[in-house]
Amino acid sequence: MATTEAVLDTDSASLEAVSAYRRDGYIVVRNLIGPKLIEACVDGISGLASGRIARKTTEIAFEPGVDPSRLRPEDREDHIRKFAWYVDDSPPLYAAAMSRRLHALLDRILGTGRVLFQDMALIKPPKIGGAKRWHQDASYFRVSDPGLIVGVWIALDEATTENGCMEVIPGSHLAGPAVHLPELDVNECTIRPDLLRLQDRKPIELRPGDALVFHSLLHHYTAPNRSPYRRRAVQFHYHQVGMQWTSLEEHRRAFHDETGAYAGCTVQKGPVPAGKEFNYVGGGRIHDVRPTDWN
């Protein structure tokens, strides 16, 4: 178990941060992005939701049961569960992914040379935002080495236990790939409950602009948002150069149960009704990392 967690509020990526990342599987970075970029990112999310900003690559998924055709454009944002692939539609969201300070820190933790391979935002709207069940992100990625992947979750609103902040189990990445239970909706795939050290769970409350940097094997969760408060956040996944995308069979070697059966989240639980098929696409849309300052 972790003794002290690394919380960075300076520009230097200390050895303590590197050591905490390896030991705990995460670090918290205070004020990773500043007020102007936060405001521009919020405007980007709102504009993509309402249609004010054109969605060329951005994909949107609404909370279950929401009929978007019944919503006014300005009300859509408060009914959306997930945005994906938005950095090419929004310069501020791209700038957040390419933050110079972030990449100086990641260089220190993981070494130089990485690409952005996934940009996603779960914005957990007030009152109706659903949970994201306990999982390891690596269960969704068929890759050669999950240690070469890092997730970065940046709060755009205050994230608290009330509105569904991230919760983590410190050090859980050290136990390696965990058995996950598949679901018809792959987004609902979750770690088998007996493998969760829930007594050690730790909420990570963040202020706007703060970030959680976490290992792809870290057990993490977010609760439903029943509060009246928004909890918008953006999430980026990067991998170091040289990491290989592999096959389902290779992924099974890491994610399997006691019988040897596949226990990752890249295959949905059947039988799958027509129209609900999930087709796994590894690799996503790759962007070279070009560290940027936003003024």
Ligand X SMILES: O=C(O)CCC(=O)C(=O)O
Residues making contact with ligand X (CB under 6 A): 120, 122, 124, 132, 137, 220, 222, 233, 235
Three-state SS annotation for 79-124: HEEEEECCCCCCHHHHHHHCEHHHHHHHHHHHCCCEEEEEEEEECC
Query: CB-wise, 220 or 251, nearer to ligand X?
Result: 220
Minimum distance of ligand X from residue 89's CB (angstroms): 19
**Residue among 203 and 292 whose Cβ is closer to ligand X:** 203
The least CB distance from residue 288 to ligand X, in Å, is 23
Q: How far is the CB of 90 from ligand X (least distance, A)?
A: 18
Please report, as a single letter, which amino acid is at residue 263. Answer: A
Nearer to ligand X, 13 or 129 (CB): 129
Looking at beta carbons only, is 53 or 122 nearer to ligand X? 122
- The minimum distance between CB 190 and ligand X, in angstroms, equals 11
Q: How far is the CB of 15 from ligand X (least distance, A)?
A: 28
Comparison of 13 and 21: residue with beta carbon closer to ligand X: 21
